Amino acid sequence: MNEEILYLNGRFQALSEGRIHVEDRGFQLGDGVYEVIKVMNGTIIWLEDHLVRLKRSLEAIRLGGALADHPLETVLPQLVRRAGLVDGSIYVQVTRGLAPREFIFPQPPHPTVLAYTRPKQFPDADEIFRGVALHPVRDQRWGRCDIKSTNLLAPVLAKEEAWEAGAQEALFISPRGLVREGGSSNVLAVIDGVIRTHPLNNRILGGITRKHVLRLARGLGFAVDERAFTLRDITGGSAACSELFTASTTKDILPVVRIGDSVVGFGRPGPVTMAIVEAMREEQAVLAGMQPEALPDW
C-alpha cells in the first residue's frame, strides 16, 4: 500500500486535497526552505541530520521558530506509516506563510509547514556500473548556497541544459574555474589518491550524503581533503584525477565517467568509488533493518 498523504500545518490529509493560499510567501517570493529525506524499507535514513540542517536553514532566513508546533521527528515517521511508504523520499517545505505580498517580513509570521512522501526506485547495479555524465555550467546562483532554499531557478536551468547536452547532472563551476557542486548533488574526486571535495562554506550545500561519504571513506582508510579542485584538474586527460562521483540523498553515490567530452579516469567506476558505494549500501541496509545485499562483481 502506498497512499499520497500530506502533512499540512498540523493536519494529515490526501495530497490531492492540499491547498495553499495564492499569497503564501513561498509561492510568490520563494521565501522558504526545504529538505528531501530518503526512506528505505519504511525507515527514514539519517532523519536527525536532515532536521538539524532544516533548522539551520530556518535560522539563517530568520524563521527559527517555525517548527515549534510541528515535532517533525515524530510527524515524519507517522507520515511514512500512514502513506505505507516502503522505498522513496519525504519532501519537507517550510515557508514564511500567508501575508499580503510585500518584501518586508510579516510580523508575526504564520509559517506554512508541509511534508509528503513519494515512492522512488534508487539506483540499481546497472545504473551504478554505467556511471553518469556531468555537464559544466558557470555558477550563477546566489551567495548563500549553504541554505537549502526553495529558490531553485538556477539549478533548474542548469540541469535542463545538462539534460539537453546528453548529461545526467549539471556541474557548477566558479568564475575562477573551481568545481563547486552538482545541480542537486555534491561532487567528489580522487586526485593523486586523495578524495577531494569543495569545503563547506556559503558556496555549496552541506550534503547529508556527502557528510556520511567522508565519514565512511575515512573509516575505510582513504585520505580525505576538503579542498576545492578545478575543472582542469578533472578534465583534459589529467592523470592525477582517477575517479569522480556524486553524492545526494535520492541517488546515493553515482560514479562519473564523463564531463562534457572528457572521459574521467578509464571511463568506468573506479575502486575507491565502489568501495564507498558498497560501504554505504551496507550501512543503509542495516539502518533499514534489511540484509545487506552486495553488488555483483563489477
The catalytic site residues sit at: 148
Q: Which residue has the cell 580522487?
A: 190
64-97: burial string, b at 16+ Cβ within 10 Å, e else? eebbeebebeebbbebbeebebebbbbebbbbbb
As a whole number of angstroms, the distance between CA 35 and CA 53 comes to: 8
Q: Which three cell numbers stand for residue 296?
A: 555483483
Q: Which helix (DSSP H) or strand (DSSP E) does residue 161 occupy?
A: helix 153-164
Where in the chain does DSSP place strands (E)?
5-8, 11-14, 32-40, 43-44, 88-95, 112-119, 132-138, 169-173, 179-182, 186-191, 194-197, 224-225, 241-248, 252-259, 262-263
As a whole number of angstroms, the distance between CA 62 and CA 84 comes to: 35
As a whole number of angstroms, the distance between CA 52 and CA 55 comes to: 5
220, 250 Cβ separation under 8 angstroms: no
**CA 222 to the chain's CA centroid:** 23
132, 257 Cβ separation under 8 angstroms: yes
Q: Which three cell numbers stand for residue 154?
A: 538556477
